[in-house]
Amino acid sequence: MNVIVCVRQTPDTESAIKIAADGRTINTDGLKYVLGPYDEYSHEAAVQLVEKNGGEVTAISFGPERVKETLRNCLAIGASRAVHIHDEDTSHDDALAIATALAAAIKPMSYDLIFTSNKGTDSDRGLVGAMLAERLGLPYVGLVSELELEDGGKALMCGRDVEGGQREKIKVTLPAVICAQKGLREPRYASLMNIMQAKKKPLETKTAAELGVDTAGAVKLEVEKMEYPPQRPPGRLVEGGSVDEKVKELVRLLKEEAKVL
Amino acid sequence: MSQTMTEKPSGFCFELSEDHKMVQKMVRDFASEHLAPRAAHYDRTCEFPWENVKKMAELGLMGVTVPEELGGAGMDSLAYSIVIEEISRACAATGVITAVQNSLGEYPLMAFGTEEQKKKYLPLMARGEKIAAYALTEPGSGSDSASMQTRCELQGDHWVLNGQKNWITNSTGAEIFIVYATKDPDLKHKGICCFIVEKGWEGFTVGKHEETLGVRASGTCGLTFENCKVPRENLLGVEGEGFKIAMQALDTGRVGIAAQAVGIAQAALDNALRYSKERQQFKKAISEFQLVQEMLVQMAVEIDAARLMLYRAALKRDSGEKFTKEASMAKLYCSEVAMRAALNAVQVHGGYGYSKEYPVERLLRDAKVTQIYEGTSEIQKLVIARELLRD
């Protein structure tokens, strides 16, 4: 079976994120980029499916030149080939624009299953998967934390958590778009042997124009302003008086000010 | 990485290639997740860290420079240095185990082994299925290794080994031993032969585990040979050229120890930075005091220089040129930096640095040995002086 994994390159989760001077984007100076932590799970799920059932995994990503580094990382953790949709214009980093470009690139490919992940740890949108399914006219199952092939590989049984601690099972015919939940499969490390082999695997580059996509025209959202979350007030020590008095004061504060009791 | 992976940079290049960065990130992530949490345990118990070795073998870390067709990763010395540095940053004992496997176990076979010897032993070592040890030092011969007393005598179709070895890293876990012995001590270095000896052969015993100050889980033991029969085909290289093999292996080994030292030094700085930002005295973080900053700065500057010397030695080795001087300079400087950084890290931690509650006391104990094994700092100076005066 052939599986496509849509991945996103995101700033390393240990990076300090600063808002840029324009107040609408983040300052990318000195940022280190990694394969999105949520994508690690969906990528691993794809690789394990192919290891078990044969076929190949194609990793695909949209973005500037630096995205190639992340795609090469995918090749070192089990993808057979990679496709980069090259676009240097960061204002095109919009869910609908990305989904439109991905759909155009994926359409002519041969596939049984497409993975996306919960969300990019940077934009936190979680929109591309559903939009991509719509663009390709495929069924979509969101936040899948358990999966099993059925009907000789023609269908997929997906398990997902729903409200109230309940589990929901959804059977979907393939091809379909699956959005992986965190923890679906434990990601592997890129072994030295696989890093070496990754050099021999194909990484294809396409531009949106070559795919016949007007990325700028597909952008429907405009970020007006970014701001930092309010600073958390410092911790308070309840001082003075006896233990009983302090406990009373603490309970009062928790009830009246923090409103947690 | 191998010649096919990295184009030779024209001029100085202070940036690792994308592949080397990938190796660095992988080993760093792996080591902080799997090695660091168990480092104190192995230090305390002196258990050979089999669990670490098994996981590292799966990632190709036990045969970094061994060619792919012989079960290794086929990478270069720069990748190897990065691997040892990152492992040692989390657990220095695991770092030296890996360094000995790669440079003192596998390298002599790659450079001097026959095709049969390579095919028989290298895949087992590169895949981490068998651990290797390197037996040169004896109770009476350390720096003066050519004065060894372990004897080898050819008797028909086999050699017979008699004598003792001391401070042999990896011994508790090893199944393949690269052993040096002399045909006649009077021949000095010209009498030395090198052998591949397997665990369990008659007349070969691994002694009790030695309690050491640092790198306590490195399986260090003495070895005894009593009429130990070694098949003729297990002579490594040419008869009487053992000393050359030993010295060339040590050139490679010293790059590994330099990398281990940089890893320990970096761990010292990591800990000192973290602690100095958390610890409050006189109502502010101690990192705000200039005398503390001076220690942090000294560590950072020296580690940077040490790492550049390490990389330079590794690149020189990969170029195929003689790298004896560069390896000794890197080993000397990096080990001294590790010791100073560990001392400073303990000082930054104050009383807590002296306790087992924090890892810096272990770093100090681990750092010390990098100035001693694979040639003391004094021996490195002799090597460097000899190379300097020869030019």
Q: For residue B163, what pLDDT is reported?
A: 97
Task: Answer whether CATH 1.10.540.10 is correct for domain B18-130.
Answer: yes
The beta-carbon neighbor of A196 closest among B26, B30, B68 is B68
Cis peptide before A175 (omega within 30 of 0): yes
Instruction: Name the minimum distance, in Å, from the CA of B61 to any CA of chain A.
Output: 7
Annotated catalytic residues of B are 374
Q: In whole angstroms, what is the distance from residue B328 CA to residue B26 CA?
A: 28
> Testing the interface with B: which of A77, A186, A192, A199 to mutate, by most B Cβ within 10 A?
A192
Structural domain boundaries in chain B: 18-130, 133-242, 244-390
CB B92, CB B215: distance < 8 Å: yes
B74 shares contact with chain A (CB less than 8 Å)? yes
Please, which residues have CB within 8 angstroms of residue B120's CB and are 6 or more apart in sequence?
A: none
Please tell me whether residues A142 and A260 are part of one structural domain: no
CB B245, CB B103: distance < 8 Å: no
Residue with tokens 């989760």: A13
* A14 pLDDT higher than 90: no
Please tell me whether residues A57 and A143 are part of one structural domain: yes
Please tell me whether residues A202 and A244 are part of one structural domain: no
Question: b/e map of A29-52 (b: 16 or more CB within 10 Å)?
Answer: eebebbbbbbbbbbbbbbbbbbee
Q: Which tens digit of pLDDT belongs to each residue from A117-170? A: 887 777 778 889 999 999 999 999 999 999 999 998 899 999 999 888 899 999
pTM for the model: 0.89
Interface predicted TM-score of the whole assembly (ipTM), two decimals: 0.88
Specify the 3-state DSSP secondary structure of B334.
helix
* Chain B residues close to A196, C-beta within 8 Å: 1-2, 5, 68, 73-75
A193 shares contact with chain B (CB less than 8 Å)? yes
Please tell me whether residues A238 and A185 are part of one structural domain: no
C-alpha closest to that of A40 among A191, A198, A186: A186
> In the 3-class helix/strand/coil scheme, how is A38-80 assigned residue by residue?
HHHHHHHHHHHHHHHHCCCEEEEEEECCCHHHHHHHHHHCCCC
Residue with tokens 């006649």: B184
Q: In whole angstroms, what is the distance from residue B133 CA to residue B324 CA?
A: 22
Task: Say yes or no for a CB contact (<8 Å) between A193 and B73.
Answer: yes
- State the average pLDDT over residues B255-270: 98
- State the average pLDDT over residues B330-344: 98
Q: For residue B10, what pLDDT is reported?
A: 59
Task: Say yes or no for a CB contact (<8 Å) between B23 and A196.
Answer: no
Q: In whole angstroms, what is the distance from residue B351 CA to residue A256 CA?
A: 43
B187 shares contact with chain A (CB less than 8 Å)? no
Residue A246 sits in which domain range? Answer: 230-261
Q: For residue B376, what pLDDT is reported?
A: 96
Phi first, then psi, for residue B42 (nearest 5°) are: -65, -35
Is A223 within a domain?
no
Provide the domain count of chain A: 2
CB B259, CB B96: distance < 8 Å: no
> Searching chain B, which residue's CA lies closest to the CA of residue A34?
B25
Cα–Cα distances in angstroms (integers) from residue B202 to residues A65, B117, B224, in the given order:
61, 20, 11
Across chain B, what does the average pLDDT equal?
95
Task: Tell me the CATH number of domain B244-390, given options 3.40.50.880, 3.40.50.10540, 3.40.50.300, 1.20.140.10.
Answer: 1.20.140.10
pLDDT class of B1 with cuts at 50, 70, 90 = low
Is A225 within a domain?
no
B270 shares contact with chain A (CB less than 8 Å)? no
- Per the rule left: phi > 0, alpha: psi between -120 and 50, beta: everything else, B220 is beta
Say which CATH number the domain at A193 has: 3.40.50.620
Is A185 within a domain?
yes
Task: Say yes or no for a CB contact (<8 Å) between A192 and B2.
Answer: no
What radius of gyration do chain A's Cα atoms show? Answer: 22
pLDDT class of B8 with cuts at 50, 70, 90 = low
Is A63 within a domain?
yes
Q: What is the largest CA-CA distance in chain A?
A: 76
* Chain A residues close to B75, C-beta within 8 Å: 192, 196
Please tell me whether residues A83 and A168 are part of one structural domain: yes
Mention the CATH class of domain B133-242: mainly beta
CB B287, CB B277: distance < 8 Å: yes
> Testing the interface with A: which of B6, B7, B19, B30 to mutate, by most A Cβ within 10 A?
B19
* B384 pLDDT higher than 90: yes
Q: Which tens digit of pLDDT belongs to each residue from B26-72? A: 999 999 999 999 999 999 999 999 999 999 999 999 999 999 999 99
* Chain A residues close to B2, C-beta within 8 Å: 196
